Structure 1
């Protein structure tokens, strides 16, 4: 290299390019926004802002019309009829590509009059409440999708009790709108059986003045939760949420929480907040998809866009609430700025500014170095000056923490800064006059060299992402920014900067995994609703867990039987024949051995083989063996119910992220099993008598209707019998009702053992029982009952050490010959039972 290039040039370049490519359709898209409220209603406006923020870039390609229904102030049939007439006339010559309905009133109006106004027009809805009610009443609008509004009342109540542990009274301010009615219903369900130490007061249809008076008269340990859409004043004026909160803040002294983001900064402390802006953004994204040609039927309904814990710093200070009391990841507005509270966006701007500043400095330095080289021969007297300047630049570049290097046209390194030496793990002497092939970069060296040759050829700039082998021998993700060094328009070398993005890529991977986990959570929640078989849930949980965990290949759900053995209820990757009759003692399970019997939480086991002293049992297909696993217990009613195991044939596969996934799946299984068991118990009690385990009266009458229909159809006969257990009152009075229950069970058990499986027996009420007997004759059945009565008389029951003799009376009615209706058969059998009872009394005397 010529002497004039003894001073090496340095150049640092980074380009941020944001490209927004708006797909221009061949014609304008006409969009109608139909909102439930009036212009200026804060919630309505914030949803519009979110929606328009997405579509603003489409400019001339869309035409948006907005109609305000003003349903809060006008909500009757006459007004809606006038609206219908107005819209018919106004839009009779208009055709819309989609309609956006904001909140329930607009949705209901569109659902009722869609075919009259906008037939078959796609509908996007936002802020829709009580979705299940629409679904159950078959009021879902075809060719529609959108975002449902989910308000977390429980989350807000739990937050209030956490922030104010001495709370004795929670005042809920709501209204009678569709949203208010739904929230009131959810509240009543929520507080039933919960929050026994807190009194809930619901204020509804009360004027602002009376509401303030009511609040000021309550206990000082009270908190307000505001959910209303509007409130009247004594003079008949209507106030809306923000104005209401201003009044409550100024005229009451107790903490106020809310559920909508429009209230934050206006007087509420905060809450678990639902964002109208986010709902509008999601609706805008749906509209964007439709504009770009996607079918609305392929766009799913967003069940819940979530809510965030948000607080107003000024109100926290006002009520002396420390930020340490707030939930994790809470958002605080109006917080005084500090170096520690700079937002991510502000940091980005600051770093970009610094980066640009250093770029300009380096460019300036390179230009000056070039000038110094050109004038060196002519200005030998300034050599000392040049030397000092060079040392300054050298020090400055070595101070920069970003790796910088220079190469000549042959690919040999001519200079680098200290950061480059540290990053590569070699000294400058080991780098200078060496090529990339000498820097232990393996197969990656050929990629770098080809890129350098192309850069010298084009005399331009390069910016690309690749990998470098770091000092630890592992590949690091980096971005190369390189530029040609030109002299008289000829390339004489290149200067490059390395930006390490390894951590950024890791965070990006983690974020993508979290997003995928969120999608799986939504899918699992939706799938659980339709499950009828608990094993289907096991299969679903296993498949989703394995799909989310890198390296996970196999899994099983083990259920505990008789508190000692585990059996496989569901598995993936196991040999079905081997698992069918497999029984594993609890004390031999991975989890038990690893924790020494303390099975309480999710654990990772990377030393499976070290847990076994005896022969290892191979259950996998193709004889694969478990090397590592992650295991979590299923706890139902504070008792071990089973385990979920996700397995791998590789070591050190699982990490803390996988524990979060397992804990979520564990929660879903525990919750569903508890619900499933409760449902089975309720269903059983709806059909059977709890004491005797035979049919109750309602179930019997349902079954009897089927028996009667069948008998009428085929002209068959059957016998209806009414039984009356004699002496029950005496037993209850003498020995108590618990012994009376034993008395009844003894009778029923003996009676059940004396009849056939096809006969039907039920408890009719108290000490009366009823049965239907087919395939038998009157005489033989009467004979059987007489023998049974004799048995009871001859074999007294022992109650509290005393022998108690008992018997029963019965009456038989024959279908067809006696009567053909249920009521007549009952009447005849009942009369004959009382005749029998009187005869039995005389006989026993």
Structure 2
């Protein structure tokens, strides 16, 4: 049951929404700069009307993407498409306002910075290459065909692209540092320090997401709620260090028994919760049996003392035992205590 070690900021819904809003503002800024140039620049009237029509079309594109729910949610592909369209718009505008001598060539920096912040190095590099190709295309009428890829022209192209490569590289480095800082903060916020499992808040978020996905997709899932049977005895007899090792051994047992898509959490104290996607109550019963058997068979040595444990587990499945997180956890809690009472009766009997 591996935990993802690194959270990508541009894969977080809230972060993507923020990036999307920023891209929209950059696009409006791009439009304002181009409109300003149409007003103050020396452009023929027929060309000015043609460019104005293109800018209106781009404004419609921006409104469709950001204000008319053309995309139901922000995603990486949407951001990438918008930056590519920005590059094509700048190229088209520059073509009609001086080509390689246009005063608006520096507008290429806007999509480069946007891509470097939100999309990563590879996409940014591809966009720099596209801009280089656009630059060559802008100057093709002034250069003989046999000299387009000459050493002299290549030197001019590299000299022109170098500031963009530098800006893209520095920005991606900064964004990478932000991603790693975000990863450490989120991992700390979502992880139980002792067991390295999810904590209660993170598990509830996962459960709510699973409920949303399941209601939309029509599948089922199960929730396990477990309680360590002898943590208090171990704490009283051997101390809290031994109790902590006991909890860690239970967490290690989960990692050994669960699938990669399953999620385990320390719910609080000696209680643990497990989310089993696409799992019926019967299948969850088999998982519970495997966990209890491997945990009972295992043990650890603490200062010469062999310590074993067991865990009482309750099962709740959607929608059989509830259709909300509260209802599922309540049913699992009741089933867990029923299992605990049954185990005590067997021991006493």
TM-score computed with the length of structure 2 as normaliser: 0.51
1:538 corresponds in structure 2 to: 125
- 1:434-583 aligned within 5 A: 518-528=106-116, 532=119, 534-544=121-131
Question: 1:719–1:773: 8 Å Cα contact kept in structure 2?
Answer: yes
Question: 2:224–2:315: 8 Å Cα contact kept in structure 1?
Answer: yes
Alignment partner of 1:697 out of 190, 204, 216: 204
More strand by share: 1
Secondary structure in structure 2 of the residue aligned to 1:696: helix
- 1:125-164 aligned within 5 A: 146=32
Query: Quick one: distance in 2 between partners of 1:527 and 1:775?
Result: 40
Ranges in structure 1 where 5+ consecutive residues have no aligned partner: 1-131, 149-281, 302-511, 550-647
Assess, with a 3 A threshold, how the Cα gap between structure 1 residues 676 and 297 changes in structure 2: closer, same or farther.
Answer: farther
CA drift of 1:784 comes to 5.4
* Alignment pair present for 1:706 and 2:213: yes
Assess, with a 3 A threshold, how the Cα gap between structure 1 residues 757 and 680 changes in structure 2: closer, same or farther.
Answer: closer
Quick check: which has more Rg, 1 or 2? 1
Secondary structure in structure 2 of the residue aligned to 1:146: helix
Query: Quick one: distance in 2 between partners of 1:548 and 1:819?
Result: 61
2:76 corresponds in structure 1 to: none
Secondary structure in structure 2 of the residue aligned to 1:765: strand
Query: Quick one: distance in 2 between partners of 1:743 and 1:283?
Result: 69
Alignment partner of 2:296 out of 789, 793, 815: 793
1:411 corresponds in structure 2 to: none
Higher relative contact order (CA 8 A, sep 6+): 2
CA drift of 1:660 comes to 5.7
* Alignment pair present for 1:771 and 2:275: yes
Secondary structure in structure 2 of the residue aligned to 1:707: helix
Query: Quick one: distance in 2 between partners of 1:794 and 1:284?
Result: 77
Question: 1:811–1:831: 8 Å Cα contact kept in structure 2?
Answer: yes
Query: Quick one: distance in 2 between partners of 1:134 and 1:544?
Result: 19
- 1:253-272 aligned within 5 A: none
Assess, with a 3 A threshold, how the Cα gap between structure 1 residues 843 and 668 changes in structure 2: closer, same or farther.
Answer: same
* Alignment pair present for 1:826 and 2:329: yes
Query: Quick one: distance in 2 between partners of 1:658 and 1:726?
Result: 66
* Alignment pair present for 1:286 and 2:39: yes
CA drift of 1:684 comes to 7.2
CA drift of 1:539 comes to 1.5
CA drift of 1:722 comes to 1.4
Query: Quick one: distance in 2 between partners of 1:292 and 1:145?
Result: 19
Ranges in structure 2 where 5+ consecutive residues have no aligned partner: 1-20, 59-99, 137-149
Query: Quick one: distance in 1 between partners of 2:278 and 2:321?
Result: 15
CA drift of 1:698 comes to 0.7
Question: 1:145–1:297: 8 Å Cα contact kept in structure 2?
Answer: no
Assess, with a 3 A threshold, how the Cα gap between structure 1 residues 802 and 542 changes in structure 2: closer, same or farther.
Answer: farther
Assess, with a 3 A threshold, how the Cα gap between structure 1 residues 133 and 724 changes in structure 2: closer, same or farther.
Answer: same
Query: Quick one: distance in 1 between partners of 2:305 and 2:101?
Result: 72
Assess, with a 3 A threshold, how the Cα gap between structure 1 residues 774 and 731 changes in structure 2: closer, same or farther.
Answer: farther
Assess, with a 3 A threshold, how the Cα gap between structure 1 residues 826 and 292 changes in structure 2: closer, same or farther.
Answer: same
More helix by share: 2
RMSD: 5.3
Assess, with a 3 A threshold, how the Cα gap between structure 1 residues 548 and 682 changes in structure 2: closer, same or farther.
Answer: farther
